[in-house]
Structure 1
Amino acid sequence: MTRIGYHAAHEQYAPGALRDLAIRAEAAGFAAIKCSDHIQPWSARQGHSGHAWTWLGAAMQATTVPFGNIAAPGYRYHPAIMAQAAATLQQMFPDRFWLALGTGEALNEAMTGMVWPDKPERNARLKECFDVMHALLRGDTVTHRGRVTAVEARLWSLPETPPPLFGAAATAETARFLGGWAEGLLTLGGDPAQTARVIEAFREGGGAGKPVHIQHTISWADTQDEAMASALDQWAPVAIGGEINWDIRRPSDFDHLARFVDEEHIGRSVRVSADPGLHRADLQAFAELGVDTVFVHNVGRNQDAFIDMAARELVG
């Protein structure tokens, strides 16, 4: 049975407020929570970017549902340090944490001053980081010299069961690359037909039988005009498309590009509707793909009203 989860967006809320939203989401009936892992927001209008790993400890202590995080190892975070953080959360909260590994965005990772590579090189770096983390989380002592370096690295506080390491993919090509080694898939919602192609590529690439999570981005409000205004205000910079999201470094540059995103364009990235029935139908379509969890991200600032609506219409 597909669970409906709540996406906690660090870009949009101060950490304390986001913790309280996670508590409220669980009380409303959301069965799981996942968060983003940013050092900068996509837009200056979003205005926040708390430290995800610090927040996870507090939010998981205040709730009982499973949590996930999507992060990019090998840039801001050395893979051994990320593995240590994941192990600590799983040890404190057994079987409640999973981690999706992605190739990252310059917005978050280029601030270290490293050269920001192209996608094939980022894929290769991701696989090396996965191998290091996977071994560490199983108690191995790891020495690895390649795109990342670890010398006699070992984790001393391990959980009884390692947290699963998913791979994050927005395209069928990346999903197929992940299928043979990632322990699950995190992908995007939106058009169920496109999402189905990504999931099928993951399964064809070796991921058959592995769990799949979806992050589905919506904009809901009491009226269609309010829903559209929220989508354009908060998520237009992310909807620009192409390779831009991965390669631009500054929120101010995303805000400049957001001027070119109109109502038709935003609809390709965000499901904009005041109709709960439409959102419910989308969730059912994703459930029919055999996914484990659909995490709903409502991009508007109306989170209290959204959670109340979801309790009535989406998660019951």
Structure 2
Amino acid sequence: MAKEYDVIIIGAGPGGLTAAIYASRANLNVLILDRGPYGGQMNNTDAIDNYPGFPDIKGPELGEKMYQSAMKFNPDFEYGDVQSVKVEGQNKIVTTDTAEYSAPVVIIATGADHKKLGVPGEEEYSGKGVSYCAVCDAAFFKDEDVAVIGGGDSAIEEGIYLSQMAKSVTVVHRRDQLRAHPNLQKRAFDNDKMKFVWNAQTESIDGDGNKITGITYRDKETGEEKHLSVRGVFIYVGVIPQTAPFKDLGILDEQGWIPTNENMETKVPGILALGDVRSKDLRQIANAVGDGSIAGQQAYNYIQSLKD
């Protein structure tokens, strides 16, 4: 028998935890599900300086504070890797690798993962010089030399953003031309702080154990290995929405993101989505929290509508 709840929240990042606060405060019976530690990507962020109320806080510390705020209102928290969500009448059946749960409302807050290069040093220096978010981390590299790996819109947009603070920004791209929009390319080429390394296959991210000292790349034309000295490496080779368990619900777009309206509602009544898993441009803690507050309140509104 599936254990029954009013609301099941899949994902315990900042958006999911905020949704839990709002839904639980409305006296709903709430379950938070996550396959790993609560806090989401905040656990991989060394320092956060752009979340209101906390001028400087460690990512895991902010995650802990959000978790404690959510648990104050007594939702259940369970570990589980969600395999599928099915609609049965007004109920949604959530199946994990260990159990089955049922609720009229499911809130999807599973987020997105940055594609990894898969090179030596990437994991070791993640949060210590390796970043996947210039908006999050640019301020930590003021007047430093940094590299951006990638050649699409995100890479060039973030490179331009970084150039406002960094001493220099070197774009390292595996092709001989950028894939970014022509307007972005022009802005980048006209930027005196931005440099470009073409036909470069990144081989490793190098450091002294505490901080990054540079990257090693292979020139694809000559086969020669070269070293670029930088203090920060920003990687933009794609982002993957974590939506595989929801592919049969008919709520994904062609890229696997979940479109919603302003109330976080998907195409399926009673299934909401929030945060980085949504089809949107800016993916930050602050707007995930905003999404979560809306989703938590909308969960209450939807359940009330079932009683009318």
Q: Normalising by structure 1, what TM-score?
A: 0.32
Q: Considering fraction of residues, name the structure with more strand.
A: 2
Larger Rg computed on CA atoms: 2
Of Structure 1 and Structure 2, which has the larger fraction of its residues in helix? 1
Question: Could you state the TM-score of these two structures normalised by the residue count of structure 2?
Answer: 0.33
